[in-house]
Amino acid sequence: DSGVTQTPKHLITATGQRVTLRCSPRSGDLSVYWYQQSLDQGLQFLIQYYNGEERAKGNILERFSAQQFPDLHSELNLSSLELGDSALYFCASSPLAGAGGDTQYFGPGTRLTVL
Amino acid sequence: GQNIDQPTEMTATEGAIVQINCTYQTSGFNGLFWYQQHAGEAPTFLSYNVLDGLEEKGRFSSFLSRSKGYSYLLLKELQMKDSASYLCAAVTMGAGKSTFGDGTTLTVKP
């Protein structure tokens, strides 16, 4: 158990819908990262927040957005869902801003299925 | 841009040694992570290399050559439970952005 929690564990929805994925980092960790892992693409970095501010951005679609709240939990919002958005979404947390050997601890993931 | 290459699949025998290679081309390279991921589960941290050389941690060791853009993960005394995907990830300096390779699926056979 990494100490990172994600809800829900599974989510099934329809195309065009909007969903929110939630992540609680390990106690004391200031950074939260979101990743998408689909069968044909491996692990893709989406976005990082550090202490409430956006820190780094990867291949995140405009239909997706995220935020980190004052209590450091984070939410990833996915809208206008398409079939191709079906994937495992992982959240990870790290103690600091992510530079150097700031190890990322991954949550169990949310499996999103878009029908 | 960022580019990470590692073999797609490898097979080895229980008790043997296997080396999983990773080459990278990234701007602002800061260090390289190795993660283990069992099917359907979250990646778990194995090692982080920032300096050239070999770092040993029990049955697992990781090597980095910054000048060659090359790393490897060495697994000794293979066990069946080592069957998993092994991901290398290059970290960009000053930020948390990690670029992951597609992973190497290792199958350990009896």
At B59, is the pLDDT very low, low, confident or very high (cuts 50, 70, 90)? Answer: very high
Q: What is the pLDDT of residue B54?
A: 95
Share of chain B above pLDDT 70, in %: 95
Answer whether B60 touches A (CB < 8 Å).
no
Count residue pairs from A and B with Cβ separation < 8 A. Answer: 72
Residues of A in contact with B100 (CB under 8 A): 42-45
Higher pLDDT, B4 or A101: B4
B94: confidence class by pLDDT, cuts 50, 70, 90: low
A25 and A74 in contact (C-beta within 8 Å)? Answer: yes
Average pLDDT over residues A59-63: 91
Which pLDDT tens digit goes with each residue over A76-99?
Answer: 999 999 999 999 999 999 987 766
What pLDDT shows up at residue B1? Answer: 54
Average pLDDT over all residues of chain B? 91
Check if B1 contacts A (Cβ < 8 Å): no
Confidence of residue B28 (pLDDT cuts 50, 70, 90): confident
Residue B50 to residue A100, Cβ atoms within 8 A:
yes
Instruction: Please compute the mean of the pLDDT values over residues B67-75 and round it to a whole number.
Output: 96
In a mutagenesis test of the A interface, which of B8, B34, B97, B99 is the best target, namely the one with the most A β-carbons within 10 Å?
Answer: B97
Cis (ω within 30 of 0) for the bond into A25?
A: no
Which chain B residue has the Cα nearest residue A56? B97
Which of A59, A43, A1, A53 has the alpha carbon at shortest distance from B104?
A43
Q: Which of A10, A45, A50, A68 to mutate to test the interface with B (most CBs of B within 10 A)?
A: A45
| Tokens (6 digits) for B54 | 């070999």
Quick one: average pLDDT of B76-91? 95
Q: Which of B8, B9, B15 is nearest to B75 (CA)?
A: B15
B30: pLDDT confidence band, cut at 50, 70 and 90? confident
Report whether B22 contacts A86 (CB < 8 A).
no
